[in-house]
Amino acid sequence: MKKIKERKSPKGSKIEKDFHRRQEDHEDLLTDPSHHRIPGPPPKGPSKQTLGSRIHEARQMRGLTLQDLSSRTGISLETLEKVEANKMIPPLGELIKLGKALEMKMGYFISPGVEKPMTVVHSDKRPVVSRHGKKKSEQYGYFYESLAPEKADRFMEPFLITMVPSEVKELASHDGQEFIFVLEGEMRAQVGDQVEILKAGDAVYYDSSHPHLVKCHGDTPTKILAVLYTGSK
């Protein structure tokens, strides 16, 4: 397979400026737990509302140790410790594995939501989540915004994802299926040995139980709409 050379995206593009603006607005998304809170009135229940706190509480409710959780998910003990301490945000695939291991929907960790027949998220109120802090977010390839954080017991997880050029090559697999629609830029999608380059207006649907990787293609950022179904009922 011909190796695709990926270069650092030039500064100045509209998406790149938006990416840096959001990163600056939200400062370090990992070390400042307040940025993981959901807009509006605080939800009922425990006062701790960070992603790491929800995972910690769910693990304790199941009577599991960190080592137990590591064995069930294949996620390293060191990574789990950082996640529960709110020092690291796991990628979406690992959140799905954590949800399965803890017998909860992965969406609960992003936001438990409330029981309503319909919820609306306005464009200026989307909670932004990054895999790493401001200095490392580009290195790991993307940050994502939940499009349904206030809907409880949801079967689908829709996200607006901005991907920037990166050297990430590792394929991942987890339960469920994924649908992706490319809004801006180009995306490289790989499922098993099949590789496709998608442009704005293109879409892909695949079983995420197969090893897969989607990433920015070329030297400019890519924006996609992604809908994940984890297989949880």
The CATH code of the domain that includes 212 is 2.60.120.10
* 6 lies in some domain: no
Measuring CA to CA, how many Å separate 221 from each of 55, 137, 145, 147, 208? 31, 13, 15, 20, 23
pLDDT tens track, the chain, 233 positions? 544 444 444 444 554 444 444 433 332 222 222 223 323 333 333 334 688 999 999 999 999 999 999 999 999 999 999 999 988 878 777 888 898 899 888 778 877 767 778 888 888 777 666 544 444 444 455 677 888 888 887 888 899 989 888 888 888 888 889 999 999 999 999 999 999 999 999 999 999 999 999 999 999 999 999 999 877 54
Structural domains in the chain (count): 1
Claim: this prediction has a pTM higher than 0.85 = no
* 7 lies in some domain: no
* 1 lies in some domain: no
* 3 lies in some domain: no
User: Which residue range forms the structural domain that includes residue 25?
Assistant: 14-229
Residue 104's closest CA among 159, 76, 64?
64
* 59 lies in some domain: yes
* 176 lies in some domain: yes
Tell me the H-state helices in the chain.
14-25, 51-61, 66-73, 77-84, 92-101, 106-110
